[in-house]
Amino acid sequence: MKFATKQIHAGQHPEETTGAVITPIFQTSTYSNEKLGETKGFDYGRTINPTRSALEANLAALENGKYGFCFSSGMAAVQTVINLFKPGDHIICTNNVYGGTYRLYEQVMRDFGMEFSYIDTSDNNALKNAVKENTKFIYVETPTNPMLNITDLKFLAELSRDKKIVSCVDNTFMSPYFQNPLDFGVDIVLHSTTKYINGHSDVIGGCLVTSDEKIAERIKFLQNSIGSVPSPFDCWLVLRSTKTLAQRMKAHNENAVNICKALSKNKQIEKLYYPGLETHPQYELAKSQMSGFGGIISLDVGSYEKAVDFCNALKIFQIAESLGGVESLVCHPVSMTHGSVPVDLRNEFGLTVGLVRLSVGIEDIDDLLADIDNALKSLN
């Protein structure tokens, strides 16, 4: 089955009593036993919920995986995946990883005796050289935020398999429509469903997908033990959203490509970052492992003052954290999402004070281009 068919049908069955086409919101915390000890496979709402199960099956299918698990946030999914490991384990992580992940690893999990190395995973040699005797896990984000660096998925999967290391890719930026890390041999895929998968900026959620039975069994155990599960209503909202994921991603991608075309001719932009640009240092790698380039563009307007003025002058692009919704957003990472990243580390990634990140929505392209054009003209 092709993606646009799976997004609508995978994990979905007409409801048994009425034939309702849409999976209902099973807003219940518990289930009645017909006789003592005789359940219909449902015992307690944290452990299992039919609305959640439908979403989990849907997301697993979209990532070409066997098992899906949903969580109350992307961070709850990150917490659950790191709980697969133990004190003394060494973990390799992309240096320019999502700030919340870095905070969880450094300010919470380090206190539990885990050892973390932050590596430029887009550099195969650096990744390989970071592996130690006790390395048990490699956690990669590709493309990264906001620099849009790409890690080689095939290399990651082969290295992990060779060294018996579990690999996980945070695939939030690409969504399952443009990139499927499991197809390359990666063990686990993670999403903040808050972003493209839900896409309507009205739910916080996360998921993990794997095809490895042992890993799946342990994640299921952790999901129930830790208990950071999403509400049935949130699952229903995300399930409604996945039905249009292909169409939304195509529209995000098309708008972003068109905006890049216009911006690459503009002399006010000092640097433009987008994996779909032939000038992106990893354009060929991006093309080989992604079927599209997504809706995130970063641009450097040259100074802090210009970046602030540019954000303030935009009218359709709203100044907000987050990304992946149908509406266009703009963010100044240094003052917003990446405020807590030390200056040295920021400079190492090339994250300058003049850098602005656009999450390109699916509005009409003419309006978006005019909005950006007006904002740039106002800078002089």
Ligand X SMILES: *Cc1c(COP(=O)(O)O)cnc(C)c1O
CB of 206 to ligand X, least distance (A): 5
Question: Is 195 labeled as catalytic in the residue annotation?
Answer: yes
With CB under 6 A as the contact rule, the residue among 23, 167, 192, 282 that binds ligand X is: 192
Residue 139 makes contact with ligand X by CB under 6 A: no
Cβ-closest position to ligand X: 74
CA 74 – CA 77 distance, rounded (Å): 5
Residue 262 makes contact with ligand X by CB under 6 A: no
Does an H or E element contain 237, and which? helix 232-242
Nearer to ligand X, 61 or 197 (CB): 197
| Contact (CB, 8 A) for 246 and 7 | yes
CB of 330 to ligand X, least distance (A): 16
Catalytic residue among 6, 52, 136, 195: 195
Catalytic residue among 67, 102, 152, 170: 170
Residue 73 makes contact with ligand X by CB under 6 A: yes
CB of 90 to ligand X, least distance (A): 22
With CB under 6 A as the contact rule, the residue among 80, 167, 180, 194 that binds ligand X is: 194
**Segments in 10-123 forming alpha helices (H):** 50-62, 74-82, 99-107
Q: Which of 179, 214, 189, 379 is nearest to 291 (CA)?
A: 179
**Only segment of 73-81, 124-132, 150-158, 369-377 that touches ligand X (CB under 6 A):** 73-81
Question: Tokens 């692009």 sit at which residue?
Answer: 317
| 81-100 binders of ligand X (CB under 6 A) | 98, 100
CA 167 – CA 211 distance, rounded (Å): 12
CA 23 – CA 25 distance, rounded (Å): 7
Question: Is 6 labeled as catalytic in the residue annotation?
Answer: no
DSSP string, 189-231: EEEETTTTTT-SS----EEEEE--HHHHHHHHHHHHHH--PPP
Residue 275 makes contact with ligand X by CB under 6 A: no
CB of 202 to ligand X, least distance (A): 12
Nearer to ligand X, 12 or 79 (CB): 79
Catalytic residue among 98, 118, 273, 274: 98
User: Strands 90-94 and 115-119: what pairing?
Assistant: parallel
**Segments in the chain forming alpha helices (H):** 3-9, 50-62, 74-82, 99-107, 124-129, 153-162, 175-178, 213-226, 232-242, 245-263, 283-289, 304-313, 343-349, 365-377
Task: Please give the size of the binding site for ligand X, defined by CB under 6 A.
Answer: 16
CA 104 – CA 85 distance, rounded (Å): 14
CB of 190 to ligand X, least distance (A): 7
Residue 241 makes contact with ligand X by CB under 6 A: no
CB of 75 to ligand X, least distance (A): 4
**Token pair in block for residue 249:** 């991603």
Nearer to ligand X, 194 or 242 (CB): 194
| Contact (CB, 8 A) for 360 and 252 | yes
**Token pair in block for residue 14:** 């007409």
Q: Is 371 helix (H, G, I), strand (E, B) or coil?
A: helix
Residue 147 makes contact with ligand X by CB under 6 A: no
Nearer to ligand X, 49 or 337 (CB): 337
**Only segment of 105-113, 166-174, 266-274, 297-305 that touches ligand X (CB under 6 A):** 166-174
Q: Catalytic site residues? A: 46, 98, 170, 195
Q: Give the interface with ligand X as residue ranges (CB under 6 A).
A: 73-75, 98, 100-101, 141, 145, 170, 172-173, 192, 194-195, 204, 206
